[in-house]
Every structure is written in structure tokens, then in C-alpha cells.
């Protein structure tokens, strides 16, 4: 039996905030579908060159008040990065809280505007521990 990965769907409350967050991570919109009859939009975003591994942002035009405030039941998305310190600094400079700083030069966690946990992993070997990350405390859940 052949199995092909298609996408991971995430329901979002504020489409523009969510798109902006995933763009900060480096994802690009690859496809969009708007349903007037169903009153929803599907926005597919993926890292450049990896269009076959997208996330699908599902936005209900009339709101989605049933989304839980803590999306821990989902688990997390994970992305490999070339320099975890640079990525975390870029996110932090743009107002994203680093929930689990990359103290070990290897792993960090952030949250999307919809409280989706996103793991960032250093590609290859861990970087040497460096400030300000080494002594930065974790914030909230990840």
C-alpha cells in the first residue's frame, strides 16, 4: 500500500496574523482556495523548494470560537533551520515570544498566533551555546 504525505491542516482565527507568522518562519503561500458557498479559505504554505510538504491554514470567515485557547492536543510542527540563533533573533525582533530558547544550540519552540507549537531544530550539529540564549528562561508552554 503506497502512502503519500499531503499536508497538515491548522484552523486559524486571524488569517492575516497567521500568514504573517508563517512568513516570518520562511514559508510562502503556494496555493489558495476561497469558498463563497462554504464561507472559508484554505491557504497552503510551504518552505521554498518544499512545496510538496505544506501546511494548510483553514480560515472560517464567520469566526471559529470553538478553537481551544491551548492547542496542546495538536502536538507541534517542526522545521529544520540553518542557524537557530539567527532564526530565533529574527522572530523575537518581530514580536514572537521564544517559549523554549535554544539554550543548547539545537532546539527552540515558539507559538503561532493560534497557539500552535512550532519546534525549530538546528540542521546538522548543534551550535555552540551562546548568549543571550544560554541563560534565557522558558516562557509558558511549548
- Digit-coded pLDDT (tens) for 102-122: 999 999 999 999 888 899 999
Distance from C-alpha of 54 to C-alpha of 43, rounded to nearest angstrom = 10
Task: Inform me whether the pLDDT recorded for 137 exceeds 60.
Answer: yes
Task: Inform me whether the pLDDT recorded for 86 exceeds 60.
Answer: yes
- Digit-coded pLDDT (tens) for 43-53: 999 999 999 99
Distance from C-alpha of 67 to C-alpha of 91, rounded to nearest angstrom = 24
Residues 6+ apart with CB under 8 A from 46: 27, 28, 30, 52, 53, 54, 55
Task: Inform me whether the pLDDT recorded for 73 exceeds 70.
Answer: no
100: three-class secondary structure by DSSP: strand
**What is the model's pLDDT at position 30?**
97
> Which residue in this structure is represented by grid cell 533551520?
81
Task: Inform me whether the pLDDT recorded for 7 exceeds 90.
Answer: no
Judging by DSSP bridges, how do beta strands 76-81 and 117-122 pair with one another? Answer: parallel
Distance from C-alpha of 92 to C-alpha of 101, rounded to nearest angstrom = 11
Contact indicator for 60, 18 with CB cutoff of 8 Å: no
Catalytic residues, by residue number, are: 119
**What is the model's pLDDT at position 115?**
87
**Which residue, among 14, 13, 34, 36, has the nearest Cα to 44 in the 3D structure?**
34
**Which residue, among 95, 139, 102, has the nearest Cα to 119 in the 3D structure?**
102
pTM over 0.85? The answer is no
Amino acid at each position: 500500500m503506497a502512502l503519500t504525505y499531503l499536508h497538515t491542516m491548522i484552523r486559524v482565527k486571524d488569517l492575516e496574523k497567521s500568514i504573517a507568522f508563517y512568513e516570518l518562519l520562511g514559508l510562502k503561500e503556494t496555493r489558495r482556495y476561497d469558498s463563497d458557498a462554504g464561507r472559508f479559505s484554505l491557504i497552503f504554505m510551504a518552505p521554498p523548494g518544499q512545496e510538496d510538504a505544506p501546511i494548510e491554514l483553514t480560515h472560517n470567515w464567520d469566526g471559529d470560537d470553538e478553537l481551544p485557547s491551548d492547542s496542546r492536543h495538536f502536538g507541534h510542527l517542526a522545521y529544520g533551520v540553518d542557524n537557530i540563533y539567527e532564526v530565533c533573533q529574527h522572530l523575537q525582533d518581530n514580536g514572537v515570544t521564544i517559549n523554549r530558547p535554544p539554550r543548547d544550540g539545537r532546539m527552540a519552540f515558539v507559538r503561532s498566533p493560534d497557539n500552535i507549537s512550532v519546534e525549530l531544530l538546528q540542521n546538522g550539529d548543534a551550535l555552540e551555546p551562546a548568549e543571550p540564549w544560554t541563560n534565557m528562561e522558558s516562557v509558558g508552554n511549548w
